[in-house]
């Protein structure tokens, strides 16, 4: 196997894993704390990409655009919580799924009306646009390294927020026992809105980071949201650590499967059979993993300790 | 109650007669619309059996529609282009039998796994299996992969001709009435009572000595087979099938029809399908952005309409 290609694919897997974590972390926070299934979380990812694209053209700089887009997306998440999510908290999961499915249709169509049907490519500043040499013979696009770095910074920031701040303490307390936290005089509604806004900002960030590579496009959120659900179920619903590790795992399996599974299959089956079956198996693999996890360990790989 | 039955009968009669009448008067468009309506309604009735009566929220029932349609398309494909002689046929009995068999086996195998988990996990695992089917068909280049498979010849039955749109519609409408009757009978049978008991309180049913898993699995398989049957009709109607039909958004639309119409009612699914078709047709002719009002309506129904549309019928009908 080609060593260079392997390292590059490993980095691609890491990048996908990081992006998945950014989307899944908000999902698992909301799911774990509020027991709310939010299919529309992927639409925020898409909105992040589009808003960042527009601002990049308005300001002429991707990095500034990204920094301004973040609070905008957070505000959108806050508004979504107030308008759509809050009336549905007390309902069952079926209503969550249907209500947020409706929200996807609304948000996607609004994006269609505002930005048109075609995707928007985002130009990168020169500093991020080049290639970086990691080791002799291994050259990777600088921006991919930037994505990984930015994602890791966000992950560390989230870890710090949840585990080492007063707000994070309240979030964790709310996750274990909502009623008790309310009884102690904490405004749980405001806390929930805050969690939603944070989740939206993270998902939006993921969209902004991927947009310069894939361009901002309609439906991009619907592709990632299902994978993000796979991540939080594999990792254990409500668990940050689980979401992080499962995101990396799923990202790696998905990327490496697509890249190398046909080579592996060729070892024990004919070339044509391997080339036919490998893409199917690699696309299905993450769902296969989720089904196996759900069957043998429904609580996920790293379930939160206090539930 | 009398008036409720009257209103329901009126709706059934309208679904059957109105399209035929309009077709006769030179508007074949409405016949096509009504055929699609009947096919989707059959699938919604099938989903309602487990979602409504059994309380099992499947988010992957579009997979059965896809399997059913491919069970028509693949034999026809081989019949025309050779290969796979075992299934190469245009015989409708073989194709529809295959659709029922494949969807039944798929439901049995996945049901064995899915029904071990509950709540939101069940929603997600059914979706996961549908996604697997989706990617399976995307990756089979022989059957068109991403682009889908054109079904060049429709199923052939003695006496009826599926190429004739009036006959195809009549078959679909009669099938719909039959499936509605079937699910109604199931819901009133002892089996249906146990299912309702499981939905209400599974622990209690276990304590009463019922093997609830077997009951749920049986309902799950029947539901899958009904949707597979609907898929076989769909393949004959559209003469085209693509993996896009298995996408999770399609499963969501099926759920929407059941919920909108009213879960665990005989009439809910057909009301939901009627509303869905009308909305889709009316809104999409007004604006290309028809998903916007459609989504808003969906949110509105979830938030404000308890029990779906069929709950509104007695309210209207029983006014003295």
- Could you tell me the CATH number of the domain that includes residue B310? 1.10.3470
Q: Domain for residue A127, yes or no?
A: no
Q: Note whether B119 contacts A: Cβ–Cβ < 8 A.
A: yes
Cα–Cα distance list, A102 to A110, A204, A285, B52, B185 (Å): 12, 20, 29, 20, 33
Residue A301 domain-assigned (yes or no)? no
Structural domain containing residue A277: 13-122+134-296
Per-residue confidence (pLDDT) for residue B314, from 0 to 100: 55
Task: List alpha helices for chain A, DSSP H.
Answer: 3-34, 41-59, 62-80, 93-115, 126-129, 142-164, 166-176, 178-183, 188-214, 220-235, 240-268, 271-296
Judging contacts by C-beta atoms under 8 Å, the chain A residues touching residue B128 are: 230, 287, 290-291, 294
pLDDT top residue among B301 and B214: B214
Q: Select from B119, B139, B256 the Cβ nearest to the Cβ of A280.
A: B139
Per residue in B164-201, pLDDT (tens digit) is 888 888 899 999 999 999 999 999 999 999 999 998 88
Q: What DSSP element (H or E) covers B241? A: strand B240-241
Alpha carbon distances (Å) from A133 to A130, A145, B89, B178: 10, 11, 59, 68
Q: Are A287 and A44 in contact (CB under 8 A)?
A: no
Q: Do A233 and B117 touch (CB under 8 A)?
A: no
Residue A306 resides in a domain: no
Out of B138, B141, B299, name the one closest to residue A99 (CB).
B299
Q: Are B261 and A74 in contact (CB under 8 A)?
A: no
Contact criterion met (CB below 8 Å) for B260 and B275:
yes
- The answer to whether position A75 is within a domain reads yes
Tens digits of per-residue pLDDT, B114-153? 888 888 888 888 988 898 899 888 888 788 778 888 888 8
User: Which residues are registered as beta bridge partners of A135?
Assistant: A138
Probe site for chain A from B47, B139, B279 (most A CB atoms < 10 A): B139
Please judge whether A87 and B303 are an interchain contact, meaning their C-beta atoms are less than 8 angstroms apart: yes
pLDDT at B100 over 60: yes
Tell me if B114 sits within 8 A of B129, measured CB to CB.
Answer: yes
- Which ranges of A116-187 does DSSP label H, i.e. alpha helix? 126-129, 142-164, 166-176, 178-183
Which uninterrupted H or E stretch holds A131? Answer: strand A131-135
DSSP characters over A53-87: HHHHHHHS-HHHHHHHHHHHHHHHHHHHIIIIIGG
Place of tokens 């398309």: B73
Q: What is the interface pTM, i.e. ipTM, of the complex?
A: 0.80
SS3 B240: strand
Walk along chain A (307 residues) and give the pLDDT tens digit of each residue. Answer: 567 778 888 888 899 999 999 999 988 888 877 788 888 999 999 999 999 999 998 888 888 899 999 999 999 999 999 888 888 888 888 888 888 988 998 999 999 999 988 888 888 877 777 777 777 777 778 888 888 898 899 889 988 988 889 988 888 888 777 788 888 888 888 888 898 999 999 999 999 999 888 888 888 888 888 889 889 889 888 788 888 999 999 999 888 888 887 777 777 777 777 777 777 777 788 888 888 888 888 788 888 765 4
Count structural domains, chain B.
Answer: 1
CATH code at A157?
1.10.3470
**Residue B320: predicted pLDDT:** 34
- According to DSSP H, which parts of B239-308 are helical? 248-261, 268-286, 291-304
Provide the number of structural domains found in chain A. Answer: 1
CB contact at 8 A, B117 and A298: yes
Inter-chain residue contact A98 with B302, CB threshold 8 Å: yes
Whether pLDDT at B316 is above 50: no
Average pLDDT over residues B250-257: 88
Average pLDDT of chain B, as a whole number: 85
pLDDT tens digits along B42-88: 999 999 999 988 888 899 999 999 999 999 999 888 888 877 777 77
Residue B92 has pLDDT above 80, yes or no: yes
What confidence score (pLDDT) does residue B99 get? 93
Q: How many CA atoms lie within 13 A of A243 on its CB side?
A: 27
Confidence grade of residue B317 (pLDDT, cut at 50, 70, 90): very low
Report which of B115, B82, B76 is spatially closest to residue B98, judged by C-alpha positions. B76
What is the residue range of B312's domain? 2-317
Q: Is B112 helix (H, G, I), strand (E, B) or coil?
A: helix
Q: Which residues of A touch B286 (CB under 8 A)?
A: none
Would an 8 Å CB–CB cutoff place B112 in contact with chain A? no
Mutate to test the interface with B, among A218, A254, A287 (most CBs of B within 10 A): A287
In a domain, A199, yes or no: yes
Which of A176, A219, A56, A177 is closest to A125 using CA atoms? A56
Q: Examine the pLDDT at B280 and tell me if it is beyond 90.
A: no
- Is A262 among the domain residues? yes
Cβ atoms of residues A274 and A210 within 8 Å: no
Contacts of A273 in chain B (CB under 8 A): none
Please report, for residues A196, B265, B308, the alpha-carbon distance to residue B300 in angstroms, rounded to integers and kept in the order given.
Answer: 21, 21, 11
């Amino acid at each position: 196997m080609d060593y260079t290609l392997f390292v590059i694919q490993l980095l691609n897997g890491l990048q996908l894993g990081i992006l998945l974590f950014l989307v899944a972390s908000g999902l698992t926070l909301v799911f774990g704390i509020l027991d709310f299934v939010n299919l529309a979380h992927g639409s925020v990812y898409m909105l992040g990409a589009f808003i960042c694209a527009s601002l990049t053209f308005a300001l002429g700089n991707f990095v500034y655009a990204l920094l301004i887009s973040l609070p905008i997306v957070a505000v959108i998440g806050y508004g979504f919580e107030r308008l759509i999510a809050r009336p549905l908290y007390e309902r069952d999961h079926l209503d969550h799924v249907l209500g947020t499915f409706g929200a996807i249709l609304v948000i996607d169509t609004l994006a269609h009306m505002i930005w048109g049907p075609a995707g928007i490519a985002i130009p990168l500043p020169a500093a991020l646009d080049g290639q970086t040499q990691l080791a002799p013979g291994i050259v990777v696009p600088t921006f991919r390294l930037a994505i990984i770095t930015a994602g890791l910074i966000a992950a560390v920031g989230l870890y710090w927020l949840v585990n080492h701040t007063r707000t994070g303490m309240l979030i964790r307390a709310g996750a274990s026992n909502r009623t008790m936290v309310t009884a102690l005089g904490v405004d749980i509604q405001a806390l929930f809105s805050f969690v939603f806004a944070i989740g939206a900002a993270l998902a939006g960030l993921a969209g902004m980071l991927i947009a310069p590579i894939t361009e901002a496009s309609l439906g991009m959120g619907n592709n990632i949201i299902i994978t993000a659900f796979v991540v939080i179920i594999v990792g254990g619903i409500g668990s940050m650590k689980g979401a992080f590790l499962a995101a990396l795992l799923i990202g790696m399996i998905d990327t490496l499967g697509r890249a190398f599974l046909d080579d592996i299959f060729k070892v024990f089956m004919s070339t044509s059979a391997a080339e036919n079956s490998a893409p199917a198996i690699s696309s299905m693999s993450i769902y296969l993993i989720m089904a196996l996890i759900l069957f043998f360990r429904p609580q996920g790989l790293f379930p939160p300790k206090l539930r | 109650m009398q008036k409720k039955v009257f209103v329901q009968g009126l709706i059934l009669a309208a679904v059957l007669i109105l399209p035929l009448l309009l077709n006769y008067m030179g508007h074949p468009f409405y016949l096509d619309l009504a055929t699609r309506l009947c096919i989707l309604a059959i699938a919604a009735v099938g989903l309602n059996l487990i979602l409504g009566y059994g309380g099992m929220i499947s988010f992957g029932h579009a997979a059965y529609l896809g399997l059913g349609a491919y069970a028509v398309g693949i034999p026809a494909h081989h019949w025309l282009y050779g290969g796979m002689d075992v299934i190469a046929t245009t015989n409708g009995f073989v194709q529809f039998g295959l659709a029922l068999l494949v969807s039944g086996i798929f439901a049995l195998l996945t049901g064995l796994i899915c029904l071990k988990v509950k709540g939101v996990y069940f929603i997600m695992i059914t979706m996961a299996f549908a996604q697997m089917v989706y990617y399976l068909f995307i990756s089979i280049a022989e059957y068109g992969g991403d682009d889908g498979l054109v079904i060049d010849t429709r199923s052939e039955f003695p006496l009826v001709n599926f190429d004739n749109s009036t006959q195809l519609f009549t078959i679909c409408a009669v099938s719909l009435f039959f499936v509605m009757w079937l699910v109604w009978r199931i819901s009133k049978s002892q089996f249906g009572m146990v299912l309702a008991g499981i939905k209400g309180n599974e622990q209690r049913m276990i304590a009463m000595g019922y093997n609830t898993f077997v009951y749920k699995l049986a309902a799950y398989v029947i539901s899958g087979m009904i949707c597979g049957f609907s898929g076989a009709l769909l393949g004959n109607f559209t003469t085209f099938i693509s993996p896009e039909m298995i996408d999770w958004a399609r499963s969501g639309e099926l759920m929407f029809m059941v919920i909108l119409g009213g879960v665990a009612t005989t009439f809910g699914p057909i009301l939901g399908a009627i509303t869905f078709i009308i909305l889709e047709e009316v809104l999409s002719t007004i604006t290309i952005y028809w998903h916007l009002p459609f989504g808003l309506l969906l949110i509105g129904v979830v938030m404000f309409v308890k029990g779906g549309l069929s709950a509104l019928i007695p309210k209207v009908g029983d006014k003295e």
